[in-house]
Amino acid sequence: MHLPDALAGWLTGHGVRIAVIAALAYVTTRLTAAAARRFEAEAGRGLDGHATERVRRVQTLARTIQKALVVLVTAMAGLMILREVGVDITPVLTGAGVAGLAVGFGAQTLVRDVISGFFHIVEDQVRVGDLAVVNGQSGVVEELNLRTIVLRDFDGTVHIFPNGEVKTLANRSKDYSYAVFTVGVRADADTDAVSAVIRDASATVMAKAHLATSILEPVDVAGVEELSAGQLVIRARIKTLPLKQFEVGREVRRELAHRLAAAGIDLPANRVDVRVEGLDDLLKLMGPRG
DSSP 185-204: EETTS-HHHHHHHHHHHHHH
**pLDDT bracket for residue 239 (50, 70, 90):** very high
Angle at 58 between CA 53 and CA 61, to 5 degrees: 125
Spell out the domain ranges in the chain: 3-106, 177-262
Of residues 57 and 194, more confidently modeled: 194
Residues 158/142, Cβ–Cβ less than 8 Å:
yes
Beta bridge partners of 169: 134
The pLDDT of residue 261 is above 80: yes
CB atoms within 10 A of CB 149: 28
* Fold of the domain built from segment(s) 177-262: Alpha-Beta Plaits (3.30.70)
What predicted TM-score, i.e. pTM, was given to this entire model? 0.59
Look up the CATH architecture of domain 3-106.
Orthogonal Bundle (1.10)
Alpha helices in the chain (DSSP H): 3-10, 16-44, 52-84, 89-106, 108-122, 191-206, 209-212, 245-262, 279-286
**The predicted structure's pLDDT at residue 153:** 92
**pLDDT bracket for residue 228 (50, 70, 90):** confident
